[in-house]
Amino acid sequence: MAQKGDELERETFSCSICLDLLKEPVTIPCGHSYCMECIKTHWDEEDQKGIYSCPQCRQTFIPRPVLGKNTMLAALVEQLKKTGLQAAPADHCYAGPEDVACDVCTGRKLKASKSCLACPASYCDKHLQPHYEAAPLKKHQLVEPSKNLQENICSRHDEVMKLFCRTDQKCICYLCSVDEHKGHNTVSAAAERTERQRELEVSRLEIQQRIQDREKDVKLLQQEVEAINHSADTTVEDSEKIFTQLIRLIQKRSSDVKQQIRSQQETEVRRVKELQEKLEQEITELKRRDAELKQLSHTEDHSQFLHNYPSLSALSESTHSSSINICPLTHFDVTAAVSELRDKLQDILTDRWTNISLAVAAVDVLLPHPEPGPGPEPEPEPGPKSRDGFLQCSCEITLDPNTAHTLLSLSDGNRKVTLMKQHQSYSRHPDRFTKFFQVLSRESLTGRCYWEVEMRGRGYNLHLRSSFLQSRSVPGSQSRYSVLLQRL
């Protein structure tokens, strides 16, 4: 009864807003009392509405009431504080659905602060005091609040399970050890916990060491990513500079050729026009002389005709040949020379481009990890030691027409490739090479291989390499035999 009375007193002198004892208590017109700051804050939030209400009974007031300290209630609260009255527990002190409740509290239960493995029960701070004061209870083991205390009780004998059966790997009570677990290897739960704790610490040390190792690996990989990005960016920048210089050089040569052609054009046009003007002057002079001779031919006076004839009949020699010989226009026929330069440059680029592609493809930062097997790695089988031994396990390679460049002709059962001058009538296929004189084999190869190839003709190089069908990081990846013909 005294406890219920204390709870009623706490509720009477507590602020319903902060749930604590009243501080500077004020009484509003409806009769309810609050802390001065609590009700002010509540009404400040209602200033925009212009209507002020009581948090408990919801009675409204207009205008905002003037607050005055209730001195009598304040004095009573101070007096009650001196007698040991404390504020009512706030709502957050009571146990919710997810909390462990005190097993001793009646009515609305408070949150448990500890659980006792010996009792077994959970207690709030108030009901836990006997475990700190009573000598027999001080020996009980207190742990963080737990809802699983009943799991420590033997379902058969309703006793606390303080033993561990190593034979059956389960916790048991004392009666179990002399009953169904009689003769088994049993130890105290504390002793088993100590041993398992040591194993746990060893496992934790191993995990922490692996974490450190992995963190180092992650840091190393991050540094490698930065190095790869820096190297790639630098290489791209340098390559762009070199290609820009190459483009500028080609543009400079193109400009020089253009300027030379235009200069020669002006010179030749000027020479032709000068000759044309002279010929036109000669034509004019000849026409004038022809007109004079015509007029002379119509003169009826014989004496006058004979007198003027010697001076008009004599023609001055032409400064030019009787006919102009025009040779075929070959002055600006530099297309063949430029085309030859283009072909040579294309051949050089094709040759060097293969080297560049191979150099880029050779960049492989991560080493392949061998897949762990259940047992020791098998000993590698001894391979052949002579060419005859290799020939016994050899296989014939056939070429794939769907991949052949159109300037490559396949024959001899698709085992022979010839570089042609005319394009072959192959059907369109997405796997066909269009930039390089290249063809792939039909067969897929694995492991280490070597090829024996017969080559005839001059002026071309033969390159053999593998074109991977799968990622290089995948063990057992297959590759296809590749033939690449290039001009020397």
For the stretch 297-340, pLDDT in tens is 888 888 888 888 877 766 666 655 556 666 665 556 677 888 88
Q: Which residues pair with 170 in a beta bridge?
A: 165
Paired tokens of 136: 């027999």
pLDDT digits (tens, 9 = 90+) for 59-71: 888 888 888 888 8
Q: Shortest CA distance to 331 belongs to which of 277, 276, 263? A: 263
Instruction: For residue range 123-147, list pLDDT tens digits in order.
Output: 988 888 888 888 888 888 888 888 8
Plot region of 29 (φ>0 → left; ψ -120 to 50 → alpha; else → beta): alpha
Residue 238, pLDDT score: 92
CA distance 43 to 63: 11
Domain residue spans of the chain: 2-88, 203-308, 396-471+479-487
Query: Lowest-confidence range among 138-142, 237-241, 258-262?
Result: 138-142
User: Under a CB-based contact definition with an 8 Å cutoff, are residues 417 and 403 in contact?
Assistant: no
Q: How far apart are CA 13 and CA 98, in angstroms?
A: 30
The whole-number pLDDT of residue 252 equals 92
* The most confident of 5-19, 120-134, 384-398, by mean pLDDT: 120-134
| Amino acid code (one letter) for 147 | K
Please state, for a pLDDT cut of 90, what percent of the chain lies above it: 11
CA angle 247, 253, 255 (to 5 degrees): 100
Identify whether the C-beta of residue 122 lies closer than 8 Å to the C-beta of residue 115: yes
98-130 as b/e, with b when 16 or more CB fall inside 10 Å? ebbbbbbbeeebbbbbbbbbebbbbbbeebbee
Which range, of 126-135, 221-230, 307-316, 416-425, averages the lowest pLDDT? 307-316
Taking the C-alpha atoms of residue 86 and residue 80, their distance in angstroms, rounded to an integer, is: 8
For the ranges 98-107, 168-177, 271-280, 364-373, which has the lowest average pLDDT? 364-373
| 2-88, CATH topology level | Herpes Virus-1 (3.30.40)
Give the pLDDT mean for 434-438: 82
Angle at CA of residue 129, ends 128 and 131, nearest 5°:
75
More confident residue, 117 or 206: 206
pLDDT of residue 316: 65
Ranges 18-22, 235-239, 267-271, 336-340: which has the least confidence: 18-22
Distance (Å, rounded) from C-alpha 355 to C-alpha 111? 76
CA distance 362 to 301: 107
Integer angstrom CA distances of residue 327 from 231, 267, 280, 318: 59, 17, 21, 22
Residue 394 pLDDT grade (very low, low, confident, very high; cuts 50, 70, 90): confident
Query: Which neighbouring-strand residues pair with 110?
Result: 94
